[in-house]
Each structure stands twice: as C-alpha cells, then as structure tokens.
C-alpha cells in the first residue's frame, strides 16, 4: 500500500508517562518508553530497541537520507528520492509484502527532516551519544533525562578540496584536542613533510589520513575528505554494528584500511541473504547497486568508502542502461 500527496507533519506536544513526546508523520505514529520504540501505520505495527532506533535515526538525519535506502532494520526505513523521501514499513521485506502489511508514504524532504530531527532531539537522553561506539557512550534507556544536543547536531564534515589544502583548515581544526582512540594507540601521528617548489606552497599539500582518523570520536559516519568531480573519498572509523542496513542505488567501493569488517549482504528488495564478506586490511570490494548491506566491526577499524555522487546514476541503473555491478573482467 502506498500513500502519496500532502502528508502533514504533526508533532504532538504532550509528553507521555515516560516523559517522551509522541510523533506523527502522515499515517505513521511513533512512541517511545524506557526501552523501546513503537511504530504504527494503517496496516501494521513494529517495535525496536530505543538505542538501535536512535542510532539509525541519527544517521538518517545527519546524512540527509543518504544514497538510496536507509533500513533501520528489516522493516522500517526511508528511501531517498532527493527532494522527497519514502517513509516505509515492510516495503523491502518479502513476508510483509506477501501479507500486504507493507506501507509507504511519500513525504517532502523538509517535513521528514523536521519530524525526525525533533524526535531525535526529544528521545536522546543526556547520557546517550548515538554516534559513539557502545563502549564509549552511556545508556539510551530509562525515562526522559535531559538532552544531548551537542552530540546529535554534529555535522558531517565535508572538504571543498582536499583536507590540509588552504581553505579546508576548519576541517582539521575540528579534530584538534581530540585524543587518539583507545584502539588506535599504535597509529603513528607524524605528518608528511611537504617540500613545494616556490610559488606552489598553497597548491601542494599532504596529511596523514591514519592520524586524522585515529582521532575520530564517532563511528559509522563517513566524512568527505576529498572531492574530485563526482568522486568522493569518505573515510570513517567503525566499531560494533553499522546502525543501518544500507540499500544501494548505485555501486560503491570499500577499501579496508585497517582491522576487519564482516559485511552481511542481502538482496535489496526481498532481504534474502546473498553473501557474507570478510574484509581484511588492504582488501577492496565493490558493493553492487541491487543489494543492501550491514557491517560488523569487532574492533575499531578504518574504512574508506568511495562514492560516485553523480545525480544521473540511480536512473541509469533503474532503467537498465548501466549494470548493477561496476566492472566486467
Ligand atoms: C554504507 O552503507 O555503505 C556505509 C555507511 C556508513 C559507514 C560505512 C558504510 O560508516
Ligand atoms: Fe552502503
């Protein structure tokens, strides 16, 4: 079942008995208590652990609904149409579709952004940082207890050219004073020596990506460190589980820089299992455009996500003009 049109975002102002506000987006209703989040829609209902829900919600908001699909789990999520967003339940779940319990509502991006941001703000307690690893944050649970705006309004850093080139000082100074993460104590901190020819001092730059990433306070949050036309290098540090199951609308490449990540790869539409990929340092893989994936990192690791931001790609793939895989050998 799909609803389109002028869904309004209606936020109830009253707090419930646990101190949390209820939210509505179109026909979806959202409620939280001490441990869980409850989602209902005209044909069904769903329950999620509050910590997992908030970790997924945080990324959906901070990434502006990302590329393609952001599954919060096997049932609920968003599909980005870059201007509007499908908010869905059971849409990419074979059993829900067969039982006709699935539901999708197409909403203008600003309305989804507003409701999701308010929900994230209201439901995140002072002790919880949805971007942090479970080991480095306090609890998400219990009755409403303050807020953590400093954590949830962190912006995804984006380079205009390359980190360290003049004009992108701000990006690096964000990291000043951040300690090296406990899992990266062995990462060398020295910076490369650049000897530019006279006149090229502002054009030639280098920095240690390993040192930069070793100080990242967040997990599963790629930051754009270089932009070359549509080619984006988005390194990130990973620990525990990627809080979303990402459904691709284009091919993306992964370069495992350190340590290990296991990727569970499923069919994007049905959720059927397709592969399990263990990536070790130096491994490179391409995730096809018709899958969804979730990563498991037993120890903090460094991953380079290489994205093609070309606006035309989802249509080229959806219409079959471009294959769902990157290369024929
Ligand atoms: C992905 O879905 O491709 C993804 C998202 C966040 C990460 C890494 C990979 O940190
Ligand atoms: Fe992905």
CB-defined site of ligand 1, < 6 Å: 220, 222, 236, 238, 242, 246, 252, 303, 305
Is the model's pTM score more than 0.85? yes
Q: Distance between CA 117 and CA 284 in Å, rounded? A: 35
Partners of residue 244 on adjacent β-strands: none
Contact at 8 Å (CB) between 94 and 270?
yes
Give the Cα-Cα-Cα angle 307, 311, 312 (nearest 5 degrees).
110
Distance 124 CA to ligand 1 centre (A): 22
For residue range 107-158, list pLDDT tens digits in order: 999 999 999 999 999 999 999 999 999 999 999 999 999 999 999 998 666 6
Give the Cα-Cα-Cα angle 38, 153, 114 (nearest 5 degrees).
55
Provide the token pair at 67.
């590329």
Mutate to test the pocket of ligand 1, among 70, 242, 247 (most ligand atoms within 8 A of CB): 242
Q: Residue 295: nearest ligand to its CA? A: 1
Q: What is the CATH number of domain 169-217+219-318?
A: 2.60.120.10
For residue range 187-206, list pLDDT tens digits in order: 999 999 999 999 998 888 88
Ligand 1 atom closest to Cα of residue 252: 3
Q: Distance between CA 138 and CA 130 in Å, rounded? A: 10
Closest Cα to atom 1 of ligand 1: 246
Contact at 8 Å (CB) between 38 and 47?
yes
Distance 18 CA to ligand 1 centre (A): 33
Contact at 8 Å (CB) between 225 and 163?
yes
Ligand 1 atom closest to Cα of residue 303: 8
Distance 293 CA to ligand 2 centre (A): 6
Closest Cα to atom 6 of ligand 1: 220
Residue with tokens 């009755």: 143
Residue 166 has pLDDT above 80, yes or no: no
Closest Cα to atom 5 of ligand 1: 220
Residue of 325 and 177 predicted with greater confidence: 325
For the chain, the average pLDDT equals 92
Q: Distance between CA 95 and CA 93 in Å, rounded? A: 6
Provide the residue ranges of all domains of the chain, joining segments of one domain with +.
2-152, 169-217+219-318
Closest Cα to atom 8 of ligand 1: 220
């Amino acid at each position: 079942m799909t609803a389109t049109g002028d869904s309004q975002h209606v936020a109830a102002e009253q707090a419930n008995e646990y101190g949390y506000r209820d939210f509505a987006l179109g026909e979806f209703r959202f409620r939280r208590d001490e441990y869980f989040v409850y989602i209902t829609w005209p044909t069904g209902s769903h329950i999620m652990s509050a910590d997992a829900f908030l970790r997924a919600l945080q990324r959906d908001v901070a990434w502006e609904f990302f590329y393609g699909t952001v599954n919060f789990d096997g049932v609920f999520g968003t599909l980005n149409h870059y201007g509007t967003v499908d908010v869905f339940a059971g849409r990419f779940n074979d059993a829900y579709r067969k039982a006709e319990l699935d539901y999708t509502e197409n909403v203008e991006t600003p309305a989804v952004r507003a409701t999701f941001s308010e929900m994230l703000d209201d439901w995140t307690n002072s002790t919880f940082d949805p971007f942090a690893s479970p080991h480095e944050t306090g609890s998400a649970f219990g009755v409403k207890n303050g807020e953590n705006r400093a954590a949830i309004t962190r912006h995804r850093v984006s380079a205009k050219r390359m980190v360290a080139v003049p004009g992108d000082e701000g990006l690096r100074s964000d990291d000043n004073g951040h300690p090296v993460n406990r899992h990266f104590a062995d990462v060398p901190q020295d910076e490369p020596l650049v000897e530019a020819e006279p006149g090229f001092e502002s054009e030639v730059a280098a920095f240690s990506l390993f040192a930069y990433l070793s100080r990242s306070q967040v997990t599963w949050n790629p930051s754009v460190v270089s932009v070359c036309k549509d080619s984006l290098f988005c390194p990130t540090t990973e620990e525990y589980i990627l809080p979303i199951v990402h459904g691709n609308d284009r091919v993306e490449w992964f370069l495992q820089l350190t340590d290990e990540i296991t990727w569970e790869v499923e069919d994007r539409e049905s959720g059927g299992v397709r592969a399990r990929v263990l990536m070790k340092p130096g491994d490179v893989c391409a995730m096809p455009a018709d899958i969804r994936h979730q990563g498991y990192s037993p120890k903090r690791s460094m991953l380079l996500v290489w994205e093609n931001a070309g606006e035309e790609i989802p249509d080229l793939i959806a219409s079959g003009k471009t294959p769902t895989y990157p290369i024929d050998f």
